Structure 1
Amino acid sequence: MTTSCKTTITSKETLSEIPGTWQLTDYRSIMSAAGFADGDTISESETREMTLMALADLEPAEAANVLLSYRLGDDLNDGQIDQISHDMQNDKIFEEYPEIGLHRHLFDANQLLRLAYNGKFPNGEAVLVHATMQFTGPEAPGQLTAGLVLRALAPALSDRSLIKRLYAADLEADTPFEAADNILWEMTATPEDAPGTFAVRLVSSEYWLHDLADSGEFEGEITLPE
């Protein structure tokens, strides 16, 4: 089944850090793991600064190990964490690691370490996009998934897009686009008054969406999962 979709990109901006990624409890836990006393009587902004200081007092690989163990200790073993802790000082592991489901966590860790070490770690960027998607026809979806959003964005991507090259079959298939949930790190789709219309906010890596159009209207046929 297919449906027509008009996607209007209203804004696109790059982010060096995704707002709300690290909470006060995160900072306190990281400080403790890095050997600093828990700053439970100071403000969140002060706790953040102390967390950066605690990380900077360690060797870069050790600080990376602390942060990755905290964030990805349930997903990676000690050997993997140790290897990444050394590799990420020179390589964009948040783009290169084969398990794309970990890219968001690796990005968040990398950017915090980059702040702590005044740019020693590679720079990364996320992309924040706001768009309106209007679906027409009897098969218009009642709600959006990450897969449908990526299919709706396809006309706004260049032909050289990494998504189009790696996931051409998924963009056109009538099955769920499972990798989309890892490509889009955050996604909300709020229904608007007009039938079949959604206000979409999404965050992804610049790695995936650097060649997405900054603005404009784009139309295409979207394949829906059976």
Structure 2
Amino acid sequence: MTIACKTTITTKETLSEIPGTWQLTDYRSIMSAAGFTDGDTISEAETREMTLMALADLDPAEAATVLLSYRLGDDLNDGQIDQISHDMQNDKIFEEYPEIGLHRHLFDANQLLRLAYNGKFPNGQAVLAEATIQLTGPEAPEQLTAGLVLRALAPALSDRSLIKRLYGTELTDPTPFEAADNILWELTATPTGAPGTFAVRLISSEYWLHDLADSGEFEGEITLPEVNGQE
């Protein structure tokens, strides 16, 4: 089933680091893994700076191993971590790694290492966008999933969009768009009170959304998955 959709993009900006990614407990754990301690007495800002210094005191590959082990130790084995810790010094592993579900974590680690080593690691960018999505029709869902949001954003992407080229079928078929939850790293979709209308805030990689329109109104139709009426 298809329903009418109007998407209005209000803001779009790039981020070198996603706010709130690293908390005080993260910094302290990373420092401990790197062989340092802050005594639990200094501020979060000071702990962050000490964490960067602790990483910078290590060999780049060793520092990368510390971060990857902390963030992805349950997802990658030692051999994979060792390989990535060397590759990410020259390659955008946060865009190239075949498991896109790990891209966000690889991005976060890369950007912290880039700060610690004054740009030695490749630069990455995330995209923060805000939009209003209005769905019209008797079957309009009461909640938006990542898959529905990407379908609503499709008219605002260029025809050469990576998402359209790799996931053209998922954007149009009446089946769940399972990769969408990994493409959109953060998503909030809040009903505005108007029927079928949501205020959307999302963060993804520039790799996926670099060609998303900066602003504007886009109309089209989206396909609802035939699974209990929604994704």
TM-score by length of 1: 0.99
- Aligned partner of 1:9 in structure 2 is 9
Given residue 213 of structure 2, which amino acid in structure 1 is its aligned partner? A
- Aligned partner of 2:94 in structure 1 is 94
What is the DSSP-based 3-state SS (H/G/I as helix, E as strand, rest coil) of the residue aligned with 2:48?
A: helix
| Structure 2 residue 147 is the aligned partner of structure 1 residue 147 | yes
- Aligned partner of 1:27 in structure 2 is 27
Q: Distance in 2 between matches of 1:128 and 1:201?
A: 7
What is the DSSP-based 3-state SS (H/G/I as helix, E as strand, rest coil) of the residue aligned with 2:182?
A: helix
Q: Distance in 1 between matches of 2:134 and 2:121?
A: 41
- Aligned partner of 2:130 in structure 1 is 130
Q: Distance in 2 between matches of 1:81 and 1:201?
A: 32
Q: Distance in 2 between matches of 1:5 and 1:141?
A: 12
Q: Distance in 1 between matches of 2:18 and 2:39?
A: 23
Deviation at 1:38, TM superposition (A): 3.5
1:51–1:39 Cα change, 3 Å: farther
Q: Distance in 2 between matches of 1:199 and 1:102?
A: 27
- Aligned partner of 2:83 in structure 1 is 83
Q: Distance in 2 between matches of 1:194 and 1:39?
A: 52
Q: Distance in 1 between matches of 2:45 and 2:37?
A: 16
Q: Distance in 2 between matches of 1:119 and 1:15?
A: 15
- Aligned partner of 2:168 in structure 1 is 168
Deviation at 1:51, TM superposition (A): 0.2
- CA deviations over 1:186-220 (Å, ceiling 9, x no partner): 00000012100000000000000000000000011
Aligned length: 226
Q: Distance in 1 between matches of 2:140 and 2:3?
A: 6
1:46–1:122 Cα change, 3 Å: same
| Structure 2 residue 180 is the aligned partner of structure 1 residue 180 | yes
TM-score by length of 2: 0.97
Deviation at 1:181, TM superposition (A): 0.1
- Aligned partner of 2:209 in structure 1 is 209
Deviation at 1:13, TM superposition (A): 0.1
Q: Distance in 2 between matches of 1:57 and 1:196?
A: 53
Q: Distance in 2 between matches of 1:85 and 1:114?
A: 13
- Aligned partner of 1:74 in structure 2 is 74
Deviation at 1:137, TM superposition (A): 1.0
Structure 1 alignment gaps of length 5 or more: none
Q: Extract structure 1 runs of 4+ deviating beyond 6 A.
A: none
Conserved 8 A contact 1:17-1:126:
yes
Identity %: 90
Q: Distance in 1 between matches of 2:42 and 2:198?
A: 41
Q: Distance in 2 between matches of 1:39 and 1:191?
A: 45
- Aligned partner of 1:107 in structure 2 is 107
- CA deviations over 1:158-208 (Å, ceiling 9, x no partner): 000000000000000101100000000000000012100000000000000
Deviation at 1:37, TM superposition (A): 1.4
Deviation at 1:39, TM superposition (A): 3.8
Q: Distance in 2 between matches of 1:109 and 1:38?
A: 21
Q: Distance in 2 between matches of 1:39 and 1:204?
A: 36
- Aligned partner of 1:61 in structure 2 is 61
